[in-house]
Amino acid sequence: MLRINRETDYGIVILSAMARSPGERFNPSRLAAAHGLPQPMASKVMKQLVRAGLLCSYRGAKGGYGLVRDPGEITVAEIIEALEGPIAFTECVEDGTGSCNHVDGCTAGAIWSRVSSVVQRALDGVSLAEMARPAEFPVTVYPVQVQWATDGGCAGPVSADPAKLKLIDR
């Protein structure tokens, strides 16, 4: 085991697809159809990704979802955390106390948090861009050709840090 769950898996697939045509708007139904995954699941996942600040949503006709940041700036760690909460092997690690509330004489806490942080770093080191086109990596810079949605189109309820938005103009 030690699996990521299906929702997260779908999330990666969806975001990868979006990363391959960044700047475009996508709607869940078409994405689901294109990649053979259940349509309501796609909706569910994308909604969650909006809440996490990785996607922004445009409502109404001709609406859809768009990436908030450069795929090269989004890490797999972020995606996993967005879809299944903090990366922690055990509860002790997650609640941060480091000591075990349940079992007498459990000395594992220190080690688990060490292991968790290794995993964290591993996942931090992989970008969405890499996920989307593994064959093209390693590559210094991901070749983005569009302007990012810093123009207010996504300024509303989305809590993305504007400082992190990268504007690429050519």
Residues in touch with its own copies (CB under 8 A): 1-5, 9-10, 12-13, 16-17, 34-37, 76, 80, 84-85, 87-91, 102-108, 110-111, 114-115, 118-119, 122-123, 126, 130-135
Give dist(CA 115, CA 42) in Å, integer: 32
Find the binder of DNA among 29, 97, 99, 147 (CB under 7 A).
29
Give the contact letters, 9-28, x = binds to DNA (CB under 7 A), - = no. -----------------xxx
* Burial (CB count <10 Å: 0-12, 13-18, 19+), residue 44: middle
Whole-number Å distance between alpha carbons of 27 and 58: 10
C-alpha distances in angstroms, 132 versus 76, 105, 135, 147? 11, 45, 9, 19
Q: How far is the CB of 18 from DNA (least distance, A)?
A: 11
Cβ neighbours of 41 (radius 10 Å)? 16
Closer CB to its own copies, residue 7 or residue 159? 7
CB of 146 to DNA, least distance (A): 19
Question: Alpha-carbon distance 78 to 7, whole Å?
Answer: 14
* Residues 59 and 46 sit within 8 Å (Cβ to Cβ): no
Per CB under 7 A, 65 contacts DNA: yes
Closest distance to its own copies from the beta carbon of 133 (Å): 7
Site residues (vs DNA, CB under 7 A): 1, 5-7, 26-29, 38-41, 43-44, 46-47, 50-51, 57-65, 84
